[in-house]
Structure 1
Amino acid sequence: MLRHSLRVRLLLPVLALVLLATVAVTVVLATVEAGRVRRDATIAMDRETSALQSLLAVTRTVMLDRVHDGMRLLQSQAAALGAPHPGGPLALPGRSQPVNDLLLGNTPQGDRFALVDSVTSIMDGTATIFSRSGDEFVRIATNVRREDGSRAIGTVLDPQGPVIERIRRNESYYGVVDILGNPYVTGYEPIVPTDGGRAIGIWYVGYKTDLKALDRVIGNSRLLDSGFVALFDARGTLRFHSRTGATTRPADIDRIVKERPGDWVIRSQAVPGWGFTLVAAYPASDVNGAIVRQSAWIVAIGLLVCALLLGLQSALIWVRVLKPVQHLTDVAEELSRGRWSHTIAEVDLHDEIGTLARAITRLANSVRLAMDRLGKR
């Protein structure tokens, strides 16, 4: 029967050892590969966020240099008109109550745009003169535009923003500010009367951030199969997000970032100087799927190697053991029937089979001699 076959009895231990070794190596390689996949996912996340942080930092630095230049130009042109001091009541569109005008020398600035437009005609960007009215600072001259294209005169400085507290302390502010729903790299300087005291207005110069390059970079970003990179502004509004991969709908990205489901790996970073939040995220299933795919390849390769080793071992056992044993078995069978004229090539082997072959050869010679003696009587 097959289970009593010498080949089976020899191959079974070999098969067991090869399978055990293959399983052990496969488990080790799969564990190592799983760690590599997780590290690669973390490295990819770090690489994407670091590149975007660098891009934002460079953009802010370059634009702040322009803001400082624009502020110096605005203040020098204003100084040429005269010292600042409060003016009389000024009615502005969209406001039920008048605000204080602001004079430079004898020149009122309320609802007049020559100064702010002359600055931006040279330096581009936007410029504004704010006048203090109670606790508010109102735009009385500006070329910042509303969505309908009109000048945003009569609008107030954000009372909850980062600027107003600094101005109330007669301190300047330079940084990124949300103006009418858009991020600007800005500079604000308090307008203080020559005799001192609290600020009566604000000089403002700013540049609307041109984030097309950032939009392009983030849009092309991708983490694994379903991950994403997203940028939220200071109000928590999604500004830019990945447009590749399985997760591209803004509603889905917003929900994942806010709900932070447990099956997602989410990393949030503040963007220094911008007030933005940079988010990189991917589902754990992406990593698990990659691990399963890599492990499947390892198992398949392991089984192939196991089959090749088993086939090689089987061939070696056949050539080096079973075939000589089979031949010696046939010779012994022939000897038992009185046929001893066989050539036994295995006598040249220097192992146990060679020893057995030489013993059978001696036995055949002895039987032949005995039969020859009996034949002569």
Structure 2
Amino acid sequence: MKTAMRIGTRLVLTQIVLMTVVVAAFVIPLYTLTERMMLERSQNVQAQLVGQSINMIGGFDDALKLAARQFHKVLLGEMDGNFSLDATQKIAVAGTPAPVLRLGTQPMNGRNDEVDRFSAKSGNVATLFVRDGDDFIRIATSVLKEDGSRALGSKLDRSNPAYARLIAGEDYLGRAELFGRDYITHYSPIRDVSGKLVGASFVGLNATEGIAGLLIRLGKVKIGESGHIAIIDVNKDSKAYGTYVLHPKLNGKPSSQRVDVDGNAYLQHAIEAVEGRTIVRERDDTGVKAHMLAYATYKPWGWLIVSDELKTEMERENRVMLQWIVGGCVLLVLVLALALWWFTRVLVARPVSRLVRAMGAIRDSRDLTLRVDIHRRDEVGEVADAMNSLLESFQQALNRTSGHAVDLDHAARELAQKAATAAECSGAQQTSAQDMSTHAAELLGGMQEITRVTQEASAAARASSDAAHSGSQSLVAAVDEVNRISTTLGAATDSLRTLESSATQITNIVNVIHDIADQTNLLALNAAIEAARAGEMGRGFAVVADEVRKLAERTSVSTQEIGHMIGQMQNATQMAVQAMRESVAKAAEGAAITADARQAIDSIVEDSRQALEVVEAINRQMELQRRIVEGMAGEVENVARLAETSNNAAQTSAETAQHMAGLADALRDEVSVFRT
């Protein structure tokens, strides 16, 4: 038996292949899309990280500003009274003459008690400024310069962002670097009782350690394996403009050292752009690497926050994520394949196997009374119902076929009997045709003998005529000759009577042949009808029966033609007999008047001439009859051959009928192996 893959297995494999193709068609674009999304997500994460760093710095800045504002209130609490400006009097402070700023009546120029007391309490620095025209001069301070001396007598740099706010009479809160230290400062204008701007107060929170701690925290931020946060000073008024405030390796160094593969300082664009993201390719000791950058500026401090991550590290992390996704898809395919295998086995394979086993049992037992016992409301149930209907149809068809086989067997046997009868009739027809051929040959011989006799009579008539002319001396010889002619004509008359009798016998034989041909035609028609009833099995016999019928029709036509020719021959023979009788009468009359022969010699001569003409006419007629008889003999031979052919066809029909009977038996045997 040929082994084939089961339909359930094929369904599962097909579904697995389709799912694999679908998953592959989904995963491949997903991989590309996810890679782009991961890149965008990483850049967004970098941007968020930069934003969070700015928020951290801003929060730190806001907290220090709030503290500076509070400490400024503390400073003002140390100075009870109203301020006033005496521009007419100047007191030198650290060698710099400055207008006198009084608190109440106390000049504050060079008086550091209040600011020192504040610094001692808060740990922060404070300064008092006096307005001198458009400048602000430090007249009291706890701020120390690099050499440890107080920063007195110096003017507030007009480039300081606090200057513009103070000259406008407004407070200023912000980061400032004083003598190498970072401060969060609070500048506030000082007004006299009339509201005139006479000076300024300053409180500075030392943010150096706080900013250093902030930078340490930001420096610990890692993006991937080697990604980091970098800070660049972008304050154009700062001496450190363009240098790294925070970097794992380049602290205090200019950012212009970082160039891409084309030699361009790529961070310069970031410094100028203030905010954005980009990917640059930079060459280092290990080769060319792609860096993903996200950056934004914290304007209050003039810091550019840069997030720097290697693209390869991001892709590695994304690749791991994608591998998990692909692995999950593969696992999903396997789980679905297992589920499909189980469902296919339960819903398809088992019902189909039951159907196959049921059909195999019917095939092996050949019992068409069995039925497929499967009742389902699906395609398998429909197939089972269809098979049961088909088995029912087969059972009914085989029952009908069995009955038809019996009928065919009976018809074949009856046809065989009729074919045997036809063969016997054809044999008899052949024998009759042979006898008729023999009689035709005898008739032809008689006709030849008659022809010879008439030729002799013609010669005798000529001799008689010659004798009549020779005179009376030949009268006796003429009388003898006339008597001999009379005798010969009598014999010819007898021969013609014999010919007429033979023609009558031939007519009877031809009628017998015609009757046999008609009977054969009827038998052939009956055989054709029986063959038509036999259907496809009798088609060959129908052809034979049709040929026999045609042969019988041709035989009938030929016998009619032979009968017609024999009738003509009988008419001619009767005419010849009549002529012979007249000749005999003439001869008798000549013998009677022998005595008057001399006187009637002329009459004898005339009669001899007429007799000669009659004999010659008889001779010609006999020649014609001889040809007719020869043609009839040929037709009789054809009839004999046709009879032989008809006999052979009848025998073949009998053999075909016997073969049909054998086929009917075989069909009945084949049908009998099925139980119906």
TM over 0.5: yes
User: 2-side partners of 1:204 and 1:302: how far apart?
Assistant: 66
CA contact under 8 A between 1:127 and 1:206: conserved in structure 2?
yes
**What residue number does 2:558 align with?**
none
| Cα pair distance change 1:269/1:149, threshold 3 Å | same
User: 2-side partners of 1:166 and 1:362: how far apart?
Assistant: 108
**What residue number does 1:207 align with?**
205
What per-residue deviation string (whole Å, max 9, x for no partner) do you get for residues 262-296 of structure 1? 3534231435xx43436252537365554433332
Higher mean alpha-carbon deviation, 31-40 vs 56-65, is at 31-40
Number of equivalent positions? 351
| Cα pair distance change 1:329/1:18, threshold 3 Å | same
What per-residue deviation string (whole Å, max 9, x for no partner) do you get for residues 131-163 of structure 1? 678987554543212345443446553342213
User: 1-side partners of 2:10 and 2:186: how far apart?
Assistant: 87
What per-residue deviation string (whole Å, max 9, x for no partner) do you get for residues 161-186 of structure 1? 2133445x463542222212333232
What is the correspondence of 1:1-377 to structure 2 with a 5 Å cutoff?
A: 5-7=5-7, 9-11=10-12, 13-23=14-24, 26=27, 31=33, 35=37, 38=41, 41=45, 45-70=50-75, 72-73=76-77, 76=80, 79=83, 86-87=89-90, 92=94, 98-101=95-98, 103=100, 109-110=109-110, 113-130=112-129, 139=138, 141-147=140-146, 149-153=148-152, 156-167=155-166, 169=167, 171-176=169-174, 177-188=176-187, 202-209=200-207, 211=210, 214-215=214-215, 218-219=218-219, 221-222=221-222, 227-229=227-229, 234=235, 235=238, 236=241, 238-239=244-245, 248-251=248-251, 258=268, 260=270, 262=279, 263-271=291-299, 274-277=300-303, 279=305, 281-283=307-309, 285=311, 288-322=315-349, 325=352, 347-350=373-376, 351-353=378-380, 359=387
* Letter aligned with residue 204 of structure 1: F
| Cα pair distance change 1:198/1:79, threshold 3 Å | closer
Identity across matched positions, percent: 20
What per-residue deviation string (whole Å, max 9, x for no partner) do you get for residues 18-76 of structure 1? 23443455468765796587297255554554354334323312322322431x24654
**What residue number does 1:245 align with?**
none
Structure whose residues are more often helix by fraction: 2
TM normalised by structure 2 equals 0.41
Structure ranking higher on relative contact order (CA contacts 8 Å, 6+ apart): 1
User: 2-side partners of 1:27 and 1:68: how far apart?
Assistant: 66
User: 2-side partners of 1:345 and 1:317: how far apart?
Assistant: 25
| Cα pair distance change 1:178/1:56, threshold 3 Å | same
**SS at 2:373 equivalent:** helix
Aligned-pair CA distance for 1:303: 1.6
| Cα pair distance change 1:63/1:373, threshold 3 Å | same
User: 2-side partners of 1:131 and 1:66: how far apart?
Assistant: 20
**SS at 2:159 equivalent:** coil
User: 2-side partners of 1:211 and 1:203: how far apart?
Assistant: 23
* Letter aligned with residue 115 of structure 2: V
**SS at 2:71 equivalent:** helix
Higher mean alpha-carbon deviation, 283-292 vs 181-190, is at 283-292
User: 2-side partners of 1:157 and 1:17: how far apart?
Assistant: 80
Unaligned runs of 5+ in 2: 259-265, 271-277, 280-290, 399-668
User: 1-side partners of 2:268 and 2:317: how far apart?
Assistant: 26
| Cα pair distance change 1:238/1:208, threshold 3 Å | farther
CA contact under 8 A between 1:29 and 1:298: conserved in structure 2?
no
User: 1-side partners of 2:64 and 2:371: how far apart?
Assistant: 87
CA contact under 8 A between 2:129 and 2:140: conserved in structure 1?
yes
CA contact under 8 A between 1:83 and 1:194: conserved in structure 2?
no
| Cα pair distance change 1:373/1:5, threshold 3 Å | closer
Aligned-pair CA distance for 1:301: 0.9
CA contact under 8 A between 2:358 and 2:372: conserved in structure 1?
no
User: 1-side partners of 2:371 and 2:146: how far apart?
Assistant: 101
**SS at 1:211 equivalent:** helix
User: 2-side partners of 1:180 and 1:346: how far apart?
Assistant: 105
**SS at 2:160 equivalent:** coil
| Cα pair distance change 1:250/1:302, threshold 3 Å | same
* Letter aligned with residue 206 of structure 2: K
What per-residue deviation string (whole Å, max 9, x for no partner) do you get for residues 217-276 of structure 1? 5355455665544555643465567xxxxxx445499558556453534231435xx434
Aligned-pair CA distance for 1:116: 3.0
**SS at 2:127 equivalent:** strand
User: 1-side partners of 2:218 and 2:380: how far apart?
Assistant: 73
User: 2-side partners of 1:144 and 1:50: how far apart?
Assistant: 30
CA contact under 8 A between 2:137 and 2:156: conserved in structure 1?
yes
Looking at CA atoms only, which structure, 1 or 2, has the larger radius of gyration? 2
CA contact under 8 A between 1:83 and 1:193: conserved in structure 2?
no
| Cα pair distance change 1:301/1:85, threshold 3 Å | farther
Structure whose residues are more often strand by fraction: 1
TM normalised by structure 1 equals 0.65
| Cα pair distance change 1:280/1:67, threshold 3 Å | farther
**SS at 1:275 equivalent:** coil
User: 2-side partners of 1:11 and 1:48: how far apart?
Assistant: 55
What per-residue deviation string (whole Å, max 9, x for no partner) do you get for residues 56-98 of structure 1? 323312322322431x246547959x957653556x5xxxxx5
User: 2-side partners of 1:249 and 1:266: how far apart?
Assistant: 19
CA contact under 8 A between 2:131 and 2:197: conserved in structure 1?
no
| Cα pair distance change 1:78/1:320, threshold 3 Å | closer
CA contact under 8 A between 1:146 and 1:152: conserved in structure 2?
yes
Aligned-pair CA distance for 1:204: 3.0
Unaligned runs of 5+ in 1: 93-97, 242-247
CA contact under 8 A between 1:67 and 1:186: conserved in structure 2?
no
Higher mean alpha-carbon deviation, 120-129 vs 278-287, is at 278-287
* Letter aligned with residue 146 of structure 1: K
